[in-house]
Amino acid sequence: MTHYLAFVLRRVALLLPALLGVAALSFALMHLIPGDPVLVMAGQRALSPQQHAAMMHALGLDGPLWLQFLRYLGRALHGDLGRSLFTHEPVLAEFMQRFPATLELGAAALLLAIVVGVPAGVLAALRRGRWSDHLLMGASLTGYSLPVFWWGLLLILLFSVQLGWTPVSGRLSPEYWVEPRTGLMLLDALLAGDRALLRDALRHLLLPAVVLSTIPLAVIARMTRSAMLEVLGADYVRAARARGIAPWRVVMVHALRNALIPVLTVTGLQAGTLLAGAILTETTFSWPGIAQWLVLAIYQRDYPVVQGGILLVACLIIAVNLAVDLCYGLADPRIRHRH
């Protein structure tokens, strides 16, 4: 227990420099983007130099960058990420309003990647060198290489425009409405007990989840195949086969359970890939999540939203990676002593 506690404290200590680096980098990059937020806010109105200076001062953008950064850090440490320059709503409140949509999409994509990727990797390992192995690994490599926006547009043209099976965009059709109890549309539909609403939410979620799951699915399938090939050649697997244990039990109990440790690690690390891919996916399907929110904020030069949103996303990714590290330390005690 003492070793594990020290392992946890070391991992947590490493998070602080990472968060500080993310905050500094997002602040610097946002201020390097050409454009003036005051002019964007003014729109077609002509501002005098005095009005422009007054608005810059009111927004706290007239001081040196180092001073603005220190003020931003001070507020962030107290849980205040500022207010949007356009909606005047707290950044944290806007984030929490949109986060359930991204969470639902990411969870559906990750579930799909696991459900399809793990069996595909197991099958490829069992059929090593045969046509099915080459077909599955070739498909995973193709999926990993596909541009997300092109793949999304292709599916929209086929299933939405040509076949009419799925909606083009959004989370619900205009004729449906559900009380947002949790913000997760599928869960809210289940709580409402409306099957038609649930079917409509599933139809809207299907294509974005397929597009977003493509890269994680490919990674999980290839990692599962690699881990299974290593485990299938182990002595305890050969011993299990020699004892006459059923082949399916050898694969599922003795081989797959031991091969899942690296697969689970890679699966947890795909959270960053999901959030990165969500930017293009949400934009393509007009999915009202945090990625689309951040893209719009960048266009508008909404400094507080971009800085606060990136910092919150980084916190989520770091938290997931920390959870994976801690679980890996529990599963394999050797990790605690090596790191």
- The pLDDT of residue 141 is 83
Spatial separation of the C-alpha atoms in residues 305 and 97, rounded to whole Å: 13
Structure tokens at 203: 């139809």
Q: Domains in the chain and their CATH numbers?
A: 91-300 (1.10.3720.10)
User: How confident is the chain (339 residues) per 10-residue block, as mean pLDDT?
Assistant: 65 75 77 67 65 70 75 78 82 88 89 90 84 85 82 88 85 81 85 85 90 89 86 74 73 74 78 73 85 82 82 81 69 53
82: left (phi over 0), alpha (psi -120 to 50) or beta: left
Q: Residue 208: what pLDDT? A: 92
User: Could you report how far apart the first and last alpha carbons of the chain are, in Å?
Assistant: 15
At residue 11's C-alpha, the angle toward residues 27 and 324, to 5°, is 95
Per-residue CA distances from 103 to 169, 179, 193, 250 (Å): 17, 18, 22, 36
Q: What is the pLDDT of residue 88?
A: 80
Instruction: Looking at 146-289, list the stretches that DSSP marks H as alpha helix, in order from N- to C-terminal side.
Output: 148-155, 185-192, 195-232, 235-242, 247-249, 256-285
Using the 8-state DSSP alphabet, how is residue 90 labeled? B
What DSSP string describes 43-72?
TT----HHHHHHHHHHTT-SS-HHHHHHHH
How many Å apart are CA 179 and CA 100, to the nearest integer? Answer: 14
